[in-house]
Structure 1
């Protein structure tokens, strides 16, 4: 199963572009920071990840202000150039 759910802050958002199939696409960068438990010990975790939203999900992502937090869900795939991973956002909800 390839499923990822990430509580994150919207750091950067590009302009809406369109895929060859005519679907809207929106590139962005997300920031996650938290404390997790690893082997019984607290560990601070911080990461930035590149992400893309394709289709109807571009609307709520486009309405999110830079710096806002949300719960982003989706899947991971290789970037087009084969270097690194890209988080494909399929749903977005407000952070509780």
Structure 2
């Protein structure tokens, strides 16, 4: 499969709260990595009506961003930016966080 012509085709923005944070781990290269679960809830307009959208999102952050996220309180909410990729072993999708800002 060829990559899309638009390199930003896999960009995702979401406002979510830290629901679960695993212990810091390190890649074989020594880079800090943090696995977590984010919780999202919002009202969305769809098909002429409103619906409640809820999602639990598997996420990961690396490097200084992982260290920053590890210091945040569970339940704290952020605007996250990143991309989606297959999880380890090709199971499911994982949101790779590249940036976060206060909500």
- TM > 0.5: yes
Residue 3 of structure 1 corresponds to 11
How many residue pairs get matched? 95
RMSD value, Cα: 0.8
Q: Is residue 63 of structure 2 the alignment partner of residue 55 of structure 1?
A: yes
Structure 2 counterpart of 1:68, from 73, 76, 94: 76
CA distance in 2: counterparts of 1:21 and 1:2, whole angstroms = 25
Residue 83 of structure 1 corresponds to 91
Q: Which runs of 5+ in 1 are unaligned?
A: none
Q: Which runs of 5+ in 2 are unaligned?
A: 1-8
What TM-score do you get using the length of structure 1 for normalisation? 0.94
CA distance in 2: counterparts of 1:28 and 1:15, whole angstroms = 9
Query: Contact 2:32–2:67 (CA<8 Å) still a contact in 1?
Result: no
- Give the structure with the higher percent strand: 1
What TM-score do you get using the length of structure 2 for normalisation? 0.88
